[in-house]
């Protein structure tokens, strides 16, 4: 916590400031300001207008939110969405409750951040030919003319086409006989899907029901972060993370890099990805009763044999309640072994299921796409893909130069659109009609929220226009005006049924099929890693994914879940590896693989396996990514998945790496403080058991493992006894650290809800990030494999708030309902409050970061009108979503009823995929907050300083296997269940 | 000149005295300082007084801008006794009272096409017809224009049962006698102090909750967020 505010690098970058001015100029400015200040009192403010529409749209009330059901089409899994719209502007995304994929109405970080893309000023505004603006009819004519004579045409789309888009594509291919279609994704689970196809005999995907699992093993599968149906995974996993409950699950993670899933693990084994086939085979044999191979491999690779023994024991003891998951980039042999393991464990139908119709088709191999281009098509059409930037391997842009006619449709003038003969602006997903195969038996529908802001047109409308031009005799299409019409005709519903469908957002019920019995497939054993090479993991980024959000500044400024780096992709490696290479943070390394070489800045990261280097794909954009241009390095030339690479030290100046958590050194005085001061509390089941039985835990019977928790409550006083909080509402928030997976959805929900600005890399580097929530990461234990505790930190709304007593202008004050209010129009920016805040959660606008967001007529639309947009010189911080509290209170008061506990839902709580956040009224007897505070693991951070915070945390129990739980009475030095020596 | 030489001019010797005190006689020095002090104090007091006066000066109250169409509330609300909510439909339901759309106006004015003595359409109605024909919204000038950092909610006020003095909040409580205004003007300042005049009234015993010390909440986030 404290560490966040201590920047360690010396190259402090000063943002542009006013040029040095003389005293005389300063005096002039001063007197001018004073005069203007006086005069402004005498002048009426500018005239403003109220413009009511000519016709009021149905249901729309000025200033009141309207919610539309829709479907997320920008990711691999089509989650249900509820889009909040005020005065015709979509301003917030929420999950759709009751939807088959995310029934608890949760959403991913990317869904929350997607509104940035809609209002992105970078978006292409007009069709272009050779850099000149042309009209849509001109563009259509040019494309149709080219298609008419063409014998070979290639259409490249994303893999997640909806059923109606596919039907339209079939019509297009009928009209253009030479047309070939290829689905393209730069980094997807093609290899795993192909392996599953062989194993299970169909092109489906394995689904999870982790709520039924007691033991989960992940082999390099970041199932809580980037891999697969993350919302379903997180929901199921969180349901089993209740310490003391019968179904309290245990998560084992064997991974090369450090992921969010690995951070949530109870036992984590660093395993080099290229040896994972050996591990999988060894485990399979051990489950069958012969553990000799596993022991031999463990000795050979330095895996923790004790953990593996416990794992095998655990899996065998929990048949029917166990699941094994493997990451998409692992070799097919691993998936084969994993399928056998799951069959032995009886996972089918209980913890694992099968979706026969995944939303994403299996992508074409990059090599096949390159071959198709080399075959010399006359016309190539790219719809919503950017292979020129992200195609793994060879330089795709160069190959494309030989194609006479390249048509590319995209949101921005990205690398592919810029390389095209005809560049077309696409409509954003929230400006488009669409449908999507949600899961087996369910189809979702996506409806537009606004008319295209920049004159774009959705991909399907372009296809339709060209099909109509080429097949004028297609009777059914003749009457179809646009894709909306095509879609609606295809669904063939009466108007009332159609409207009911739009309100519901999806149709059908999920089949939830059981996992088929796996076939024995003899996959080739992967070659052992060559000496002198490292496994280079080209991973999906937890925020920007495969680079499709590479221009999304909200996501670029959201820290990578584990190393907290923003605005960059780096080479993360074990500290020991970095020392062996003679590099430290900010130095450069050269990574060579597949005949290509890339220079990356180094970030030493505890927990990464020593022969593994992790970096993220999708960075190094050169065009059409706005603030994302020039951010990071494009690693696509190295290939995709896991590649064997040579890593060597490269010269060059130290590179500035911006992190939201600064201290990652081995300074014990800094690192042990959070544990010793009981900020981050965690323990093992044995410690918890002792605590519950009142067994003295430390010397002299003092609480050591769980200090300051429910049983050892400190007797604290209220500074101002006049204030009586027991009447009316008393708002409180509770966060269960057992459930938090560090996915950052809360952070982006807050950003979208509360108009939080982005500040850029240099400002983050000097600790000026503006996010109202941060996920603090505590690492304890050996640097090779530390124990992790993640702790969301936000304004604690202290009853004895230290910030309030130091504000000279009363700009921060307490409400009778326990909120710590921040009044922007009263704040003069002394920053005393920020200095006096023990939690360091106050954020100051050092510059006018809002900038064009208030002057650009389009970006202005993105802001939530119910929250003030802040300007320079103003302090801000979490408000407990006071606008949401007021909305609920006002509605109840208008109806003359009481506010129900749980009726107020904060933005972070609404988004949290693992339901770790609870908000409510602490005065309600037996209510949500009282229950959370009454839990025996409940504690308040820094309780001993008597600020009386209103955010309650639930201490984390790392569910260590009984054989590995080394807790002994009095054996621990402090609250965190690791070694005395902090990893960080 | 060195300080020593200067002090010789003044007739007195100060070894380490500041230069200024050695240039003028002490008496002159004192006079200058007094003068400066008086000047300084008067600037501060005058400035404060001036600012205070200007602060109080209220150019918002009585603001009566010209509107694109000379709409007359005294005819609609006064003569014809049309309820405010008939046109401002959202006042009980949401934060904004709502301005009727052109098509809302035309619901009546398709029929009501009043002509003047010479048989020409009244100017306002002709303008309305034009807006309707061109599907062009009307740019009304905002009379009651709050600062962007103040969040006022019409519905919360109009749904209040009654004030401590037994009165209910009517539209006129804040907007004045609209039904008598030919052109709408701002009757109240709409400043925070004015808001607090009501908010700080003692609670209404019938409808207030235990512990409430004022009629309405007065903490910051009630209106600012």
pLDDT digits (tens, 9 = 90+) for A1-21: 444 444 344 344 344 344 455
Q: Is B30 within the bounds of a domain?
A: yes
User: In whole angstroms, what is the distance from residue B29 CA to residue B10 CA?
Assistant: 13
Q: Given this model, what pLDDT does residue A663 score?
A: 57
Instruction: Convert the pLDDT of each residue in A665-681 to its tens digit.
Output: 444 444 556 666 678 88
A54 contacts in chain B (CB < 8 Å):
101-103, 131-132, 135-137
| Number of domains chain B is built from | 1
Q: Given this model, what pLDDT does residue A35 score?
A: 61
Q: Is B178 within the bounds of a domain?
A: no
B225 contacts in chain A (CB < 8 Å):
866-868, 879, 882-883, 886
Q: Is B173 within the bounds of a domain?
A: no
Average pLDDT on A698-709 reads: 69
The closest alpha carbon to A353, from A229, A242, A238, belongs to A229
User: In whole angstroms, what is the distance from residue B152 CA to residue B154 CA?
Assistant: 7
Length of chain B equals 225
Q: Is B42 within the bounds of a domain?
A: yes
Say if the Cβ atoms of A42 and B57 lie within 8 Å: yes
Report the percentage of chain A scoring pLDDT > 90: 73
Nearest residue of chain A to residue B134 (CA atoms): A54
User: In whole angstroms, what is the distance from residue B181 CA to residue B177 CA?
Assistant: 7
Say if the Cβ atoms of A48 and B101 lie within 8 Å: no
The closest alpha carbon to A184, from A593, A645, A640, A570, belongs to A640
Listed in order, the ranges of chain A carrying CATH 3.30.70.20 are: 668-715+730-957
CB atoms near residue A56 (< 10 Å):
17
Average pLDDT on B173-185 reads: 93
The closest alpha carbon to A445, from A489, A491, A410, belongs to A491
* Residue A831 backbone class (left: φ over 0; alpha: ψ -120 to 50; beta: rest): left
Instruction: Convert the pLDDT of each residue in A585-614 to its tens digit.
Output: 999 999 999 999 999 999 999 999 999 999
User: In whole angstroms, what is the distance from residue A772 CA to residue B69 CA?
Assistant: 46
Listed in order, the ranges of chain A carrying CATH 2.40.40.20 are: 534-650
Q: Residue A904 is encoded by which pair of tokens?
A: 């107020």
Chains A, B: CB pairs < 8 Å: 141
Q: For the domain A668-715+730-957, what is the CATH code?
A: 3.30.70.20
B209 contacts in chain A (CB < 8 Å):
727-728
Average pLDDT on B138-150 reads: 91
B60 contacts in chain A (CB < 8 Å):
44
- Residue B14: band (very low, low, confident or very high) from pLDDT cuts 50, 70, 90: very low
Report the percentage of chain A scoring pLDDT > 70: 90
B54 → closest Cβ in A38, A727, A826: A38
Q: Look at A618 and A680; give whichever has higher pLDDT.
A: A618
Q: Is B16 within the bounds of a domain?
A: yes
Nearest residue of chain B to residue A886 (CA atoms): B222
Whether pLDDT at A738 is above 60: yes
Whether pLDDT at A983 is above 60: no
Q: Given this model, what pLDDT does residue A149 score?
A: 84
Q: Given this model, what pLDDT does residue A981 score?
A: 35
Say if the Cβ atoms of B149 and A41 lie within 8 Å: no
Say if the Cβ atoms of B211 and A727 lie within 8 Å: yes
Q: Given this model, what pLDDT does residue B168 score?
A: 83
Q: Given this model, what pLDDT does residue A950 score?
A: 94
Partner A contacted by B93 (CB < 8 A): yes
Partner A contacted by B70 (CB < 8 A): no
Q: Given this model, what pLDDT does residue A153 score?
A: 94
Going by the DSSP 8-state scheme, the letter that residue A492 receives in this structure is T
A54 → closest Cβ in B60, B92, B136: B136
User: How distant is the Cα of B80 from the closest Cα of chain A, in angstroms?
Assistant: 23
Q: Look at B38 and B13; give whichever has higher pLDDT.
A: B38
CB atoms near residue A43 (< 10 Å):
9
Say if the Cβ atoms of A727 and B96 lie within 8 Å: no
Say if the Cβ atoms of B151 and A886 lie within 8 Å: yes
Angle at A385 between CA A383 and CA A387, to 5 degrees: 130
Instruction: Convert the pLDDT of each residue in A830-839 to its tens digit.
Output: 999 999 999 9
Q: For the domain A128-188+361-507, what is the CATH code?
A: 3.40.50.740
Whether pLDDT at A651 is above 90: no
A49 contacts in chain B (CB < 8 Å):
139-142
Q: Given this model, what pLDDT does residue A25 score?
A: 62
Average pLDDT on A21-43 reads: 58
Instruction: Convert the pLDDT of each residue in B41-82 to its tens digit.
Output: 999 998 888 777 666 555 678 888 999 999 999 999 999 999
Q: Given this model, what pLDDT does residue A186 score?
A: 86
User: In whole angstroms, what is the distance from residue A900 CA to residue A224 CA?
Assistant: 32
- DSSP string across A196-243: HHHHHSSS-EEEE-GGG-SEEEEES--TTTTSSSHHHHHHHHHHT--T
- Residue A643: band (very low, low, confident or very high) from pLDDT cuts 50, 70, 90: very high
Whether pLDDT at A975 is above 60: no
Q: Given this model, what pLDDT does residue A486 score?
A: 94
CATH 2.60.120.330 fits A534-650, yes or no: no
B211 contacts in chain A (CB < 8 Å):
724, 727-728, 816
Instruction: Convert the pLDDT of each residue in A49-80 to its tens digit.
Output: 998 888 888 888 888 999 999 999 999 999 99
Instruction: Convert the pLDDT of each residue in A253-291 to its tens digit.
Output: 999 999 999 999 999 999 999 999 999 999 999 999 999
Say if the Cβ atoms of B101 and A41 lie within 8 Å: no
Partner A contacted by B137 (CB < 8 A): yes
Whether pLDDT at A968 is above 70: yes
Q: Given this model, what pLDDT does residue A705 score?
A: 73
Instruction: Convert the pLDDT of each residue in A178-220 to its tens digit.
Output: 899 999 998 768 899 999 999 999 999 999 999 999 999 999 9
Q: Given this model, what pLDDT does residue A435 score?
A: 95
Q: Given this model, what pLDDT does residue A156 score?
A: 96
Instruction: Convert the pLDDT of each residue in A423-476 to its tens digit.
Output: 999 999 999 999 999 999 999 999 999 999 999 999 999 999 999 999 888 777
User: Which of A324-333, A575-584, A762-771, A970-979 is predicted least confidently?
Assistant: A970-979
**Helix or strand run (H / E) with residue A86:** strand A80-86
Q: Is B45 within the bounds of a domain?
A: yes
Partner A contacted by B142 (CB < 8 A): yes
Partner A contacted by B140 (CB < 8 A): yes
Q: Given this model, what pLDDT does residue A943 score?
A: 85
The helix/strand count (H/E) of chain B reads as 10, 1
Say if the Cβ atoms of A54 and B101 lie within 8 Å: yes
Average pLDDT on B150-175 reads: 86
A893 → closest Cβ in B132, B148, B156: B156
H-assigned helices in A533-658: 553-556, 575-581
User: In whole angstroms, what is the distance from residue B91 CA to residue B87 CA?
Assistant: 10
Average pLDDT on A716-731 reads: 79
- Residue A29: band (very low, low, confident or very high) from pLDDT cuts 50, 70, 90: low
Partner A contacted by B133 (CB < 8 A): no
Q: Given this model, what pLDDT does residue A953 score?
A: 94
Q: Given this model, what pLDDT does residue B174 score?
A: 92
Say if the Cβ atoms of A817 and B219 lie within 8 Å: yes
Whether pLDDT at A972 is above 70: no
- DSSP string across A468-482: HHH-TT-HHHHT--S
H-assigned helices in B139-182: 154-158, 171-175
Q: Given this model, what pLDDT does residue A44 score?
A: 59
Partner A contacted by B54 (CB < 8 A): yes
Say if the Cβ atoms of B219 and A868 lie within 8 Å: no
Instruction: Tell me the residues of chain B between 154 and 193 that have a Cβ less than 8 Å away from chain A.
Output: 155-156, 159, 161
- Residue A653: band (very low, low, confident or very high) from pLDDT cuts 50, 70, 90: very high
Q: Residue A742 is encoded by which pair of tokens?
A: 């560090």
Instruction: Tell me the residues of chain B between 21 and 50 that have a Cβ less than 8 Å away from chain A.
Output: 50
Range of the domain at B15: 3-56
Q: Look at A572 and A671; give whichever has higher pLDDT.
A: A572
- Residue A638: band (very low, low, confident or very high) from pLDDT cuts 50, 70, 90: very high
Q: Is B21 within the bounds of a domain?
A: yes
Q: Across chain A, what does the average pLDDT equal?
A: 89
CATH 3.40.228.10 fits A190-355, yes or no: yes
B94 → closest Cβ in A43, A45, A64: A64
3-state helix, strand, coil in chain B (%, to 5): 45, 0, 55
Cβ burial of B207 (10 Å; 0-12, 13-18, 19+) is: middle
């Amino acid at each position: 916590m404290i560490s966040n505010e201590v920047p360690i690098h010396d190259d402090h970058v000063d943002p542009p400031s006013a040029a040095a001015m003389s005293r005389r100029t300063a005096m002039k400015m001063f007197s001018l300001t004073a005069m203007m200040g006086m005069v402004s009192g005498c002048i009426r403010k500018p005239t403003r207008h109220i413009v009511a529409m000519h016709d009021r749209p149905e249901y729309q009330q000025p200033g009141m939110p309207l919610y539309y059901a829709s479907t997320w089409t920008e990711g691999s899994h089509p989650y249900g969405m509820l889009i909040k719209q005020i005065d015709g502007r979509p301003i917030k995304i929420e999950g759709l409750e009751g939807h088959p994929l995310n029934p608890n109405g949760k959403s991913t970080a990317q869904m929350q951040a997607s509104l940035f893309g809609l209002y992105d000023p970078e978006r292409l505004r007009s069709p272009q030919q050779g850099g000149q603006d042309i009209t849509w009819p001109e563009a259509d004519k040019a494309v149709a003319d080219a298609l008419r004579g063409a014998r070979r045409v290639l259409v490249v789309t994303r893999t997640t086409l909806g059923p109606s888009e596919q039907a339209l594509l079939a019509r297009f291919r009928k009209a253009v006989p030479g047309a070939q279609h290829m689905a393209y994704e730069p980094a997807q689970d093609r290899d795993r899907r192909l392996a599953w196809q062989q194993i299970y005999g169909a092109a489906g995907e394995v689904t999870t029901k982790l709520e039924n699992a007691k033991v989960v093993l992940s082999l390099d599968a970041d199932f809580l972060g980037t891999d697969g149906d993350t919302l379903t995974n997180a929901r199921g996993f969180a349901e089993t993370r209740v310490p003391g409950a019968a179904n309290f699950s245990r998560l084992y993670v064997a991974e090369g890099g450090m992921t969010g899933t690995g951070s949530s693990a109870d036992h984590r084994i660093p395993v080099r990805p290229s040896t994972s086939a050996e591990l999988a085979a060894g485990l399979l044999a051990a489950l069958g009763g012969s553990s000799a191979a596993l022991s031999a491999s463990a000795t050979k690779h330095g895996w923790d044999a004790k953990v593996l023994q416990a794992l095998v024991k655990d899996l065998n003891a929990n048949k029917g309640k166990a699941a094994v998951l493997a990451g998409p980039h692992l070799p097919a042999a691993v998936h084969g072994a994993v399928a056998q393991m799951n069959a032995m464990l009886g996972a089918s139908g209980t913890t694992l299921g099968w979706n026969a119709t995944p939303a994403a088709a299996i992508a074409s191999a990059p090599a096949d796409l390159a071959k198709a281009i080399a075959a010399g098509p006359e016309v190539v059409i790219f719809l919503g893909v950017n292979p020129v930037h992200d195609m793994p391997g060879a330089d795709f842009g160069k190959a494309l130069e030989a194609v006479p006619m390249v048509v590319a449709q995209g949101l921005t003038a990205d690398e592919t659109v810029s390389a095209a003969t005809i560049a077309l602006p696409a409509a954003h997903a929230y400006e488009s009609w669409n449908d999507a195969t949600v899961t087996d038996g369910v189809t979702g529908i996506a409806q537009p929220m606004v008319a295209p802001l920049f004159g774009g047109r959705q991909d399907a409308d372009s296809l339709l226009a060209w099909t109509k031009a080429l097949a004028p005799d297609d009777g059914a299409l003749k009457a179809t005006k646009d894709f909306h019409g095509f879609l609606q005709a295809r669904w063939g519903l009466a108007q009332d049924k159609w409207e009911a469908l739009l309100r519901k957002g999806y149709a059908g019920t999920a089949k939830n099929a059981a996992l088929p019995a796996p076939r024995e497939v003899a996959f080739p054993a992967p070659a052992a890693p060559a000496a002198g090479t490292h496994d280079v993991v080209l991973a999906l980024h937890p925020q920007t994914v495969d680079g499709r959000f590479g221009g999304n500044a909200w996501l670029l400024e959201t820290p990578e879940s584990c190393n907290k780096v923003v605005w960059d992709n780096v080479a993360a490696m074990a500290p020991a590896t970095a020392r062996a290479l003679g590099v430290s943070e900010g130095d450069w390394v050269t990574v060579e693989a597949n005949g290509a070489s890339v220079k990356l800045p180094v970030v030493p990261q505890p927990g990464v396996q020593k022969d593994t280097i992790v970096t993220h794909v999708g960075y190094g954009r050169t065009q059409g990514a706005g603030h994302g241009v020039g951010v990071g390095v494009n690693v696509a030339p190295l290939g995709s998945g896991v590649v064997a690479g040579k890593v060597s030290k490269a010269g060059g100046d130290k590179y500035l790496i911006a992190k939201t958590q600064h201290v990652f050194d081995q300074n014990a005085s800094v690192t042990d403080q959070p544990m010793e001061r009981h900020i981050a509390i965690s323990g093992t089941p044995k410690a918890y058991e002792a605590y519950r039985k009142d067994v003295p835990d430390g010397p002299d019977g003092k609480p050591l493992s769980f200090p300051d928790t429910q049983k050892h409550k400190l007797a604290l006083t209220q500074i101002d006894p006049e204030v009586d909080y027991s009447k009316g509402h008393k708002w409180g928030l509770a966060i269960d650290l057992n459930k938090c997976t560090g996915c950052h959805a809360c952070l982006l929900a807050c950003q979208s809800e509360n108009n939080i600005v982005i500040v850029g890399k240099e400002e983050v580097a000097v600790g000026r990030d503006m996010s109202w929530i941060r996920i603090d990461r505590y690492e304890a234990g050996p640097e090779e494999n530390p124990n992790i505790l993640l702790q969301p930190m936000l304004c604690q709304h202290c009853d004895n708030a230290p910030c309030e007593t130091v504000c000279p202008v009363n700009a921060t004050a307490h409400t009778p309902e326990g909120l710590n209010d921040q009044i922007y129009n009263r704040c003069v920016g002394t920053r005393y409050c920020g200095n006096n805040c023990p939690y360091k959660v106050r954020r100051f606008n050092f510059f006018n970061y809002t900038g064009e967001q208030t002057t650009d007529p389009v970006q202005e639309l993105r802001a939530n009108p119910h929250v003030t947009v802040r300007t320079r010189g103003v302090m801000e911080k979490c408000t407990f979503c006071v606008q949401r509290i007021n909305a609920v209170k006002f509605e109840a008061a208008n109806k003359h009823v009481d506010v129900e506990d749980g009726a107020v839902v904060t933005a972070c709580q609404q988004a949290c995929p693992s339901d770790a956040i609870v908000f409510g009224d602490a005065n309600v007897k037996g209510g949500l907050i009282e229950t959370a505070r009454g839990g025996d693991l409940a504690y308040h951070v820094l309780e001993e300083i008597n600020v009386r915070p209103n955010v309650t945390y639930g201490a984390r129990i790392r569910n260590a296997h009984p054989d590995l739980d080394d807790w002994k009475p009095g054996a621990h030095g402090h609250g965190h269940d690791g070694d005395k020596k902090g990893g960080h | 000149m060195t300080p020593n030489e200067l002090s010789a001019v003044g007739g007195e010797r100060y070894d380490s005295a500041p230069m200024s005190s050695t240039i003028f006689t002490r008496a002159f020095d004192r006079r200058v300082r007094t003068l400066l002090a008086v000047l300084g104090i008067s600037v501060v007091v005058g400035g404060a007084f001036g600012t205070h006066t200007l602060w109080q000066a209220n150019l918002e109250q009585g603001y009566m801008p010209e509107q694109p169409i000379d709409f007359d509330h005294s005819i609609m609300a006064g003569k014809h006794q049309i309820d405010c909510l008939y046109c401002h439909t959202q006042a009980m339901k949401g934060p904004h009272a709502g301005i009727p759309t052109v098509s809302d106006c035309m619901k009546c004015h398709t029929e009501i096409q009043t002509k003047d003595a010479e048989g020409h359409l009244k100017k306002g109605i002709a303008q309305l017809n034009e807006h309707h024909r061109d599907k062009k919204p009307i740019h009304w000038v905002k009379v009651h224009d709050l600062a962007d950092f103040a969040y006022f909610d019409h519905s919360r006020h109009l749904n209040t049962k009654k004030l401590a003095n037994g009165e209910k909040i009517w539209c006129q409580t804040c907007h004045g006698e609209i039904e008598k205004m030919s052109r709408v003007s701002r009757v109240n300042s709409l400043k925070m102090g004015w808001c607090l005049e009501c908010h700080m009234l003692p609670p209404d015993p019938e409808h207030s909750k235990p512990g409430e010390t004022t009629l309405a909440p007065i903490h910051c986030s009630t209106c600012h967020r």
